[in-house]
Structure 1
């Protein structure tokens, strides 16, 4: 039955869909606005703290300027980064490691300007100019790294470093929350200076933390945290009003920002006189700002990836952070960067889109323009509890993962890195963690070793198809050819283990048994000087025990290094392919044993042996065509019909296959006293490879017409020939199976 359209029903459905999307956008907008507002309060509190650190003492007049610059940088950079990031939603502000270096830069400049006769105002002005230069330089560096797509080279931060970084961030948040509560930094023994009011503020913050944890645990709504914060805000404000502690001098609110001072680098650049000595004195800190900005961003992106379980585009993060800082610098803004804790706060506060980060940035800009004391209207317990909540989530969520997985090494290393970050700073902690991780990696990698597998000629044959008697001899004397497949990067930690492995294996064999040692470098990505020295030791060991040292598939750089070190005493010491190297060793072994078959009359005796004594060779030759080849000549072409097969009486043949790229790859070499073309012949398929003679050769060809005639006229002869072909194919399958077994070890 054909369905008919119902315009009224469709209109109703479309109207319902439209209302659904309008309602969804409304909910997303409310949640993003609430999350962005909550995040901005934490960002402003952090900015106020850094402003006091950058200019203190006689330079305290610069605090309003620094706060305004950080607000502007957080606004402009925040808009760009939040809208272009690959990890939405993101909140941005002054980066703690970068801010710490800017504090050092401020101290360095003041130590140069004031002793030289300058005033505190001159020191503030010069410092702000260099702050702008640092912001512009770090932004340009980040953008270039992203534009050049160098992000993949910075993906070296292991989990333990990220975990230690996050745990240290959580601990710093706890310490920062306590500092916000009591209005001063904690000393070595903080409890001796605490008053009852300080204890009450800390206790109120802990109570707010417990409420937020309960909301997180029992209420799954995205608006739960913003609503809980709003309720605590109203209840705390009402309680403080009832208790008569709502005035600013009681200390239950953050101090007012005061009158912020706008700052323009273009205006100040013409009035300031930055000397060469001041620039040189600040140069180490300027370089440190760039390095810290890069390392900190890489670490925080990795941290946020881990926390959210989503991948990020590090090149995109480099570009958007670089562009944001380069745009903010001309407007007087300081460098802003991804804030891991506040970005996670957006998640917990119910953010649905990247717009929440833009809302937080807009609030920072609004505060900078209007001097609105946003942080000063929120009671301290709410801010302190929120900061404690972030610290708790970072410490517990980060360290619980390795504890739950019983990854004790990662947990221990994370705790060590956390301690180093707390005692010596983020940059030192991250660098120390990377160094420790590299050392552990080197130790673990060296224990694994570079020998991927080890076999002898008894289990791994070359690509040469030989007569049965020669194959049998090579299998029985297989221990004379020792083959080692190497892999990975051979460096100082694994090079010596390679030498010890080879020496130990040779020592287990009877004296004089091994004659050839083959090292395959196909899976080796590189080798340092220690590796070359160890391989040279293997060469010397081989010379001492009269073993021929052979290398295969080495890259040009590794082969050149081995050549310079004198590893190839034999003219044929290096080969481009393992098969060629093993085939050469087989030829040398057969020649020294004098077991190579001769041509002519021995062909008939070999064929008689294969077919059986009851077969008359003249009867068989009546069905075969003799083909004599004087030089190199194509016998079969890939893709041709397989209507013949040949017995090789004299000479050798080579088998080449054309791959999908049109390149010719040599896959097999067939010696005398063998069969070729039988697979396609019996399968009635096209030739799968091109077969050519490798010099003069003599073949006995059996066509399909003669084979069918032999089956009709001499079924006994055809049966013997079939048995011969099946036996030959079975031998080849056996050799292939043993080679596969050797490769799987």
Structure 2
């Protein structure tokens, strides 16, 4: 439901995000091979409709680097395959965008988005901080009135020394003034006019008389007529010869856009202390991309930097994302001359402040006091985010976090397994245990075993067993088990057989019994050694020990010849 309760903040946030998104949309459009206007319309359409129908209040959607890379790859492959221009194959290309939107809607309908929420905090912190570092590095040379020769973080770093050595003094002055405004703008005035908006207005007015200051006019396209400003309707085309290529691109765009958007949603949650609806967000993203494909616009996803600009300059509700789209629409239709006068240095100053705010300084300063693994994890994700790829950073982070979690759980499970909980025994069980005089060992499984614990389970049992003649495996706390745990239990049974120990199984739930039976483990134990309770197992063990253990210690009953 759209609300106007925070109209002022949404207006400022959407306006600033729209202005910041303008050069990015143009640049992404040019890089995609579809042209700058396709980038602008991509930001307008996906930004408006994803905000209107999505599940993250402050999300700003538009063209992003990962999405543009996949889209540009499809453009290059199709134009090469057909030896045709972009215009000649545009119907096929934008069919992939429409299909990607449909797939994202299906992701939302089938509630795929809930799994993205499982990303742990150190990964989010590293990702956020990496985004902040990227923003600062990309804008560093622009403070001095220079532009990197190429895109990417490495090129931006390489451009910094040259920019410092040959500064555009006017642009540098405007950038420094913008930085001072955004960092030190009075809070009481900021309630009415955010510092970023003030820097945008003041910096632009100061830059008006100067010709040598790089401005947006350098990247804005010109239009011969009003009709040129409107997007064309692109009818989807299906071609069997390239159907697999189009479908593959659509799947990658859908998955990449979903991950990119929901990660940005998590970042927005962290900044606003709210919680997004991931499945609704996927539906909104799908609607935005589906419509974008029908009007020749490049696909988009939740954009972390633009979302944070929106949040930091006052955006609170989904109205801010819709206003961001309308601002860009106004630029395309009417306000191109005004936007053309904005100096790049002003945007650089605003974005550096945004980058600094995104870096998780509070966690970085205190992380050394917490678990070292979490600090290492955060640092790895930050480094991969900055120097490799955003999606790869999160994938590596989640993988490492999962390994760390499994390792810790396995340690706890194995430690608990090695303890005999004699306090849990009732009076009769205690008497039976004491009568055995150390010849009985009870192992109680404390809940389901992870595959990490299962890997060392047999070794743990061997290490803790001494001269006991009887081993009781108590499954009371194990409602189910996987194949790894089942085969670990098989190793325990086979080890006991080799050392002439009697093995009893007790308190097995039906799912556990069925799994062990299906894998052939039940056949390793005499039927009379599988008992309903621990007390029954202790009684039978005591009886066997009192008889001197004359029976076969383990194994199925002999089969008749």
Bin for the TM-score computed over the shorter chain: 0.7 to 0.9
Equivalent position to 1:100, from 65, 69, 83: 69
Q: Name the count of aligned residue pairs.
A: 530
Choose from 279, 301, 311 the match for 1:347: 311
Residue 63 in 1 paired to residue 35 in 2?
A: yes
Aligned to 1:547: 502
Matched ranges for 1:284-433 at <5 A: 284-370=248-334, 372-373=336-337, 375-397=339-361, 400=364, 403=367, 406-433=370-397
SS of the residue corresponding to residue 447 of structure 1 reads helix
1:78 maps onto 2:78 in alignment? no
Instruction: State the alpha-carbon separation in 2 of the partners of residues 378 and 570 from structure 1.
Output: 84
Matched, 1:251 2:206: no
Could you tell me which runs of 5 or more consecutive residues in structure 2 were left unpaired when the two chains were aligned: 548-561
Alpha-carbon spacing, 1:410–1:585, altered in 2? closer, same or farther (3 Å)? closer
User: For 1:373 and 1:161, how far apart are their aligned partners in 2?
Assistant: 42
Q: Structure 1 residues 402 and 564 mapped into 2: Cα distance closer, same or farther (>3 Å)?
A: same
Maintained 8 Å contact 1:164/1:415: yes
Contact persistence 2:54–2:282 (CA under 8 A) = no
CA distance in 2 between counterparts of 1:558 and 1:316 reads 41
Q: Which residue of 2 aligns with 1:571?
A: 527
1:36 touches 1:359 (CA, 8 Å); kept in 2? yes
Q: Choose between structure 1 and 2 for higher RCO, CA contacts under 8 A separated by at least 6 residues.
A: 2
Alignment of 1:218-257 (within 5 A): 219=187, 223=191, 226=194, 228-241=195-208, 244-245=209-210, 247=211, 250-255=213-218, 256-257=220-221
Q: Is the 8 A contact 1:177 1:384 kept in 2?
A: yes
* Cα distance change on mapping 1:109 and 1:373 into 2, 3 Å: farther
433-442 or 172-181: bigger deviation:
172-181
The aligned counterpart of 1:40 is 18
Q: Aligned to 1:372, what secondary structure does the other structure show? A: helix
C-alpha deviation, 1:399, in angstroms: 5.2
* Aligned partners of 1:458 and 1:476 also within 8 Å: no
Give the match's secondary structure for 1:390: helix
Residues 263/109 of structure 1: CA separation in 2 closer, same or farther (3 Å cut) = farther
Provide the secondary structure at the position in 2 that maps to 1:415: helix
1:123 paired residue among 86, 101, 123: 86
How far does residue 312 in structure 1 lie from its aligned partner after superposition? 2.3
- Cα deviation for residue 40 of structure 1 reads 0.5
- Residue in 1 aligned with 2:488? 534
Q: Contact conserved, 1:170 with 1:394, CA < 8 A, in 2? A: yes
Distance 1:417 1:459, change over 3 A: closer
Long gaps (5+) in structure 1 = 1-23, 56-61, 596-745
Among 169, 176, 182, the residue aligned to 1:212? 182
Distance in 1 of aligned mates of 2:430 and 2:205: 96
Partner of 1:201: 171
| Residues in 1 aligned to 2:136 and 2:200: alpha-carbon distance in whole angstroms | 20
Q: Offset of 1:360 from its aligned partner? A: 1.2
Q: CA deviation at 1:64?
A: 3.8
Quote the Cα distance in structure 1 between the aligned partners of 2:366 and 2:252.
Answer: 32
Q: Deviations over 1:382-425 (max 9, x none)?
A: 21111111111122447536537545433332232222233332
Corresponding residue of 2:540: 588
Q: If you compute each CA radius of gyration, which structure gives the higher value, 1 or 2?
A: 1
Distance 1:159 1:392 in 2: 19
Which whole-Å CA distance do the structure 1 matches of 2:422 and 2:398 have between them?
45
Find the counterpart in structure 1 of residue 558 from structure 2. none
**Residues 105, 220 of structure 1: alpha-carbon distance in 2 compared, 3 angstrom cutoff:** farther
State the 1:499 CA deviation.
1.7
**Contact residue 449 and residue 497 of structure 1 kept, 8 A:** no
Structure 1 residues 136, 561: closer, same or farther in 2, change over 3 A?
farther
> 1:143/1:182 Cα in 2 relative to 1: closer, same or farther (>3 Å)?
same
Structure 1 residue 289, shift from structure 2 partner:
1.5
Residue equivalent to 2:559: none
CA 373–426 in structure 1, closer or farther in 2 if over 3 Å, else same: farther
Any residues of structure 2 matched to 1:155-174 within 5 Å, and which? 155-174=117-136
Distance 1:235 1:402, change over 3 A: same
1:204 deviation in Å?
A: 3.7
Q: Does 1:264 align with 2:196?
A: no
Corresponding residue number in structure 1 for 2:404: 440
Q: 1:319 to 1:478 in 2, by over 3 A?
A: farther
Give CA-to-partner distance per residue, 1:52-107, whole Å, 9 cap, x none: 2122xxxxxx424423431xxx3343333324444323322123322232233233
Give the structure with the larger strand fraction: 1
Residue 133 (structure 1) aligns with: 95
Tell me the alpha carbon deviations over residues 347-387 of structure 1, each in whole angstroms, 9 at most, x when there is no partner. Answer: 22123443222211221233334473554232323211111
Match of 1:176 in 2: 138
CA shift, 1:488, in A, is 5.0
- Distance change (3 Å), C-alpha of 1:302 and 1:232: closer
Q: Give the alignment's Cα RMSD to 1 decimal.
A: 3.4
Q: Cα distance, 1:333 vs. partner?
A: 3.6
| Equivalence for 1:499 | 458
Q: TM-score, normalised by structure 2?
A: 0.82
User: Per the alignment, in what secondary structure is the counterpart of residue 449 of structure 1?
Assistant: helix
